[in-house]
Chains A and B, each alone.
Chain A
Amino acid sequence: MPLVEPMQEAHIQTVPWDETGHLEVLTFDLGDETFALEAVLVREILDLLPETRVPGAAPLVHSVVNFRGKIIPIADLRQAFAMAPAEAATLDSRIVVIEIALGEEPLQIGIRTDKVHEVATLAETASEEPPAVGMRWRRQFVRTLVRRDDGVVVLPDLHAIFAAHLGDSAIAAAA
């Protein structure tokens, strides 16, 4: 799929490998792909909660849930990676609540996953820059790919994925 969008500059996040070149991540599945997020970001892993649709919101964050008295958005990363919409929820479906610093305040977001695996350690030596061609996805949404015995793990760039939504609203507010 050819990319015509301008590259998101300044949002590209580097992978925080530790000094020995390793990183603790939580791995989870979306469709056929395995993704990973830094374990330090993860606050909680929940069973699916009743979601409330927000009419008019972007498809990426089209619903909210009540997470311990806070209203947090549920993000469907399939939207960012143009994957087929989720089939019906299974027993394995979980929400991974993460907290990341976007904009001024840390932001809690629930990420809908098809299955959560385990906390694993990835090695920098096995990581590869996302190829410039031959990827189905927007390149700026992927920080790196890590080879493992059972396939490739994708580290998505959450800042780039969500910043687009924050950016729009910031511009709208300033106008």
Chain B
Amino acid sequence: MSGGDPIAAFRVEAGDLLDQVEQGLLDLTHRLDDRDLIDAVFRGLHTLKGSGAMFGFDALASFTHHCETAFDRVRKGLAPATQGLVAVILSAKDHMRALVDGDGSGLEATGAAILAELQREVDAAAGAPTPTPSAPVRKGWRLTFYLPPESMANGTNPLMLLDELRELGECTITARTDRLPPLAELNPVECHVGWDVTLFGNVSRDDIDDVFLFVMDDMELVIEELGGEAEAPAEIVEAPVATAVAAPESTGPAKAATKTGESVRVPAERLDELMDRVGELVIVHSRLSQLANGQGGDMVLRSISEEIERLVSELRDTMMVLRMVPVATLFGRFRRLIHDLARETGKAIELSTEGEATEVDKTVIERLADPMVHLIRNACDHGLEPEDERIAAGKPATGHVRLSAHQAGGEVLITIQDDGRGINRERVRAKAESQGLIQPGQQVSDSELLHMIFHPGFSTAAAVTNLSGRGVGMDVVKRTIESLRGAIDITSNPGEGSKVVLRIPLTLAIIDGLLVRVGEGRYVIPLAAVEECLELSLEEDLRSRGRSFITLRDRLVPFLRLREMFETGTRPDPHQKIVVIATGAERVGLVVDQIIGSHQTVIKSMSPLHQDVAAFAGATILGDGGVALILDVVQLVLAGQQQEERLRAAG
């Protein structure tokens, strides 16, 4: 990331920190006395203040400073964490985000208002008895530390560290010069001095760690606890440390999951570029392999070519994994949404999530966020009943929204479920009739009826609220999911709630496909949709002319002759095959000339000039550099059904 804009990097990092702080605060609303959470939030604020000041976000730094100070009282046990305080800091967090994103101008009034409220909450909290008296004990620490020699060149000022230690309590500081090199070898800009610090006071290990927060990774730090007059409080588990190695520890199980391993931030476009390069490499390699395996191929050349083949395929697999991120990053965003919705609607709402480790392509995650916000809003606003209604219906007072994700075949299923009143079918029907979507009295299947809610301008909410009911949104949901080549299933039971399942392909970049030949063209059928392959014998072909049905395990399956559909102008192969594909319960057979084999398919989008061609979902580049078009299964099944209906109508 060298050469990148440091301000932009800070914004990204600050965004992450704010997310962490938000998650911590939301957890805190459930467990107000969790020390680890309080510490985690405090650390987040502290880092934000520090790096904010470093990058010139002064408004942010000074605002955060006030929040940090207030929160510090909680951390030190001087004031208890209260719901009110957490709520104010949550709103403060939003303000910080605005400060991070903008230049801080025009926001002073908001900031001042939040700070005033913060002050009120802190005062109120301080008056209340502290629920977790943290046994104030007078104790002390002995520290010995050496900074890395190049630390001053990197911008660390040791004197400021010492000053910070002095702020913690009464300090005796002596310098150690035992590592000074001989004068001839001394580089004056390097720091060879070490320090012995004896620190008295009610100071926790975390306080000391905070002082060294930015230099911790490289320095040598030994912390010993002085024989205090009282026992160490229970939370300092690592209390008497003989030779503590300075390493940033993740404190608390709540944050442990987010701190695994090192990670590097890469813009998604670079991954796409890399993907393109890998694609090109595959193609070039296949030319090399043809050369190596061709006439007069050299043994050495062939072995090199095989080696490269292995590397290329590994590279491609690694590439795919790089693009995957767990849906936890998506679900995490909705906790705040639920929190806010609960406040706005005055309903008690509980959110539970499941399957957060399921991994989905990064672009899919990003595009899923908006539709899911709409669905969750709908569930909370329309689905869940007010408390009194729930109790009257014999349900628990707290409404429940459940998000879950799991993988099934080549798809990820994301479920949004509520235990509210369910979709009112009469209302949907009445609305659909008044909008002319269906004729009065027309027979429609239940699932068709429920899908009416995805029509543009369709809302059954009697009153328009701030949240939903304006009839925008649900059609956006449908469009977005379809653009991801996904589908929506919706089920609803009156009085028991609704369940919306988004079925999304695992990745937009690579699929397993079945490579087939039709006439002279090669096409890819997504393997996830393929049910089976059969042979269409010549006699059967002739016999079925004009009706285009085969009997498959006592069911009639319509089939499409791709050769005719694509107007290849070629004669059929003597041994044509039928590839049976399915979406949901609908099946359709595709007659192809030859099945070439399975093919890992890097999906390339079609040019906008070809967007009106519905039969294809994209294209891919084959090993020989040629292009194969990827069939759009949904469209083909639709075409098959239309053919079926035409034939039925004809007789």
Residues of A within 8 A of B604 (CB): 69-71
A110 to B606, CA, bound (A): 14
Residues in B with CB closer than 8 Å to A169 are: 608-609, 611-612
A172 to B625 CA separation, bound complex (whole angstroms): 32
B612 CB contacts on chain A under 8 angstroms: 57-58, 165, 168-169, 172
Chain A residues with CB under 8 Å of B44's CB are: none
Q: A71-B621, A102-B608 are in contact. Are A56 and B626 (CB under 8 A)?
A: no
| Chain B interface, >50% SS class | mixed
B615 at the interface (CB under 8 A from A): yes
Residues from 299 to 353 in B contacting A, C-beta threshold 8 Å: none
CA distance A61 to B154 in the complex (A): 58
A107 and B619 form a contact (CB under 8 A): no
The distance in angstroms between the C-alpha atoms of A55 and B563, with both chains bound, is 10
Chain A nearest Cβ from B139, distance in angstroms:
64
Set A50, A66, A73: member contacting B610, Cβ < 8 A: A73
Residue B613 is within 8 A (CB to CB) of chain A in the complex: yes
Q: Are A64 and B280 in contact (CB under 8 A)?
A: no
How many residue pairs, one in A and one in B, have C-beta atoms under 8 Å apart?
Answer: 89
**Interface residue A173 (Cβ < 8 Å from any Cβ of B):** yes
Q: Is the CB of A52 within 8 A of B280?
A: no
Residue B629 at the A interface, CB < 8 A?
yes
Verify B610–A69 contact, CB threshold 8 A: no
* A56 and B608 contact, Cβ closer than 8 Å, known pairs A66-B621, A66-B626, A71-B621: no
Contact B279 A69 (CB under 8 A): yes
A69 and B607: CB pair below 8 A?
no
Contact A52 B611 (CB under 8 A): no
Q: Is the CB of A166 within 8 A of B613?
A: no
Q: Given A71-B621, A168-B612, A65 and B627 touching (CB < 8 A)?
A: yes
Q: Are the C-beta atoms of A56 and B613 separated by less than 8 Å?
A: yes
A-chain residues with CB within 8 Å of residue B605 when the two chains form the complex: 71
Contact of A54 among B277, B280, B565, B616 (CB under 8 A): B616
Closest to A75 in B: B609
- Report the Cα distance A137→B626, complex, angstroms: 34
Q: CB distance A107 to B613 under 8 Å?
A: no
Picked from B609, B615, B626, the residue with its CB within 8 Å of the CB of A166 is B609
Asked whether any CB of chain B lies closer than 8 Å to the CB of A31, the reply is no
B280, B566, B606, B612 — most chain A CB neighbours (10 Å): B612
* Residue A16 interfacial (CB < 8 Å): no
- CB pair A109 B626 closer than 8 Å: no
Taking CB atoms, residues of chain A closer than 8 Å to B277 are 69
Contact of B615 among A53, A56, A109, A162 (CB under 8 A): A56
Are B609 and A69 within 8 A (Cβ)? no
Question: Which one of B567, B610, B615, B629 has the greatest number of beta carbons of chain A within 10 Å?
Answer: B610
Against A, the Cβ 8 Å flags (1 = close, 0 = not) of B587-614 are: 0000000000000000011111111111
Contacting residue for B567 out of A55, A66, A103, A107, CB 8 A = A55
Is B283 in the interface zone, CB < 8 Å from A? yes
Q: Which range contains the number of A residues in contact with the other chain?
A: 20 to 34
Which single member of A50, A52, A56, A71 contacts B607 (CB below 8 Å)? A71
By a CB distance below 8 angstroms, the chain B residues around A136 are none
Which residues in B have their C-beta under 8 angstroms from that of A56? 566, 613-615
B521 CB-CB contact with A under 8 Å:
yes
Residues of chain B contacted by A54 (CB below 8 angstroms):
606, 610, 613, 616, 629
Let me know if B276 is at the binding interface, CB within 8 A: yes
Q: Given contacts A70-B604, A73-B607, A168-B612, are A52 and B279 in contact (CB under 8 A)?
A: no
Tell me whether A73 and B615 are in contact (CB under 8 A).
no
Q: How far is the CA of A105 from the CA of B608 in the complex (A)?
A: 9
Q: Cβ of B608 and Cβ of A52 under 8 Å apart?
A: no
Are A71's CB and B567's CB within 8 A? Answer: no
Is there a chain B Cβ closer than 8 Å to A72's Cβ?
yes
B628 at the interface (CB under 8 A from A): yes
Q: Which of B565, B613, B614, B626 interacts with A52 by CB under 8 Å?
A: B626
Please determine whether A64 and B611 come into contact, CB atoms closer than 8 angstroms: no
B122-149: which residues lie under 8 A (CB-CB) from chain A?
A: none
CB distance from A132 to the nearest CB of B (A): 29
Q: Quote the shortest CB–CB distance from A169 to chain B (angstroms).
A: 4
**A64→B608 contact, CB < 8 A:** no
Determine whether the beta carbon of B627 is less than 8 Å from that of A55: no
Residues of B within 8 A of A105 (CB): 608
Question: Which residues of the other chain, B, contact A75 by a CB distance below 8 angstroms?
Answer: 609
Whole-angstrom distance from the CB of A15 to the nearest CB of chain B?
Answer: 23
Residues B609 and A52 in contact, CB atoms below 8 Å apart: no
Report how far A73 CA is from B607 CA in the complex, Å: 7
- The smallest C-beta distance from B629 to any residue of chain A, in angstroms, reads 7
Partner of B626, one of A50, A57, A73: A50
Q: Which residue of A lies closest to B562 (CB)?
A: A55
Given the contacts A71-B604, A71-B627, A166-B609, A64 and B615 also touching, CB distance less than 8 Å: no
Q: Are B627 and A52 closer than 8 Å at their CB atoms?
A: yes
CB-based contact B565/A162 at 8 Å: no
Q: For chain B, residues 101 to 131, give those with C-beta under 8 angstroms from any C-beta of chain A.
A: none
How far apart are B501's CB and chain A's nearest CB, in angstroms? 25
- Chain B residues with CB below 8 A from A65, complex form: 627
Q: Bound state CA distance, A64 and B608, in angstroms?
A: 12
| Cβ contacts under 8 Å, A108 to chain B | 607
Chain B min CB distance to A27 (Å): 24
> 7 smallest A-B Cβ distances: which pairs?
A55-B566, A169-B611, A52-B627, A69-B280, A169-B612, A73-B607, A71-B619
Contacts A/B (CB < 8 Å), 9 sampled = A50-B625, A52-B521, A56-B613, A64-B610, A64-B619, A69-B283, A70-B276, A71-B627, A105-B608
Residues of A at the B interface (CB closer than 8 Å) are: 50, 52-58, 61, 64-66, 68-73, 75, 102-103, 105, 107-109, 162, 165-166, 168-169, 172-173
Interface residues of B, Cβ cutoff 8 Å to A: 276-277, 279-280, 283, 521, 565-568, 604-616, 619, 621, 625-629
User: A103-B608, A166-B609, A173-B611 provided; 17 other pairs, C-beta below 8 A?
Assistant: A52-B626, A52-B628, A52-B629, A53-B521, A56-B566, A57-B610, A58-B609, A58-B612, A64-B607, A66-B283, A66-B621, A66-B625, A68-B280, A71-B619, A73-B607, A75-B609, A109-B609
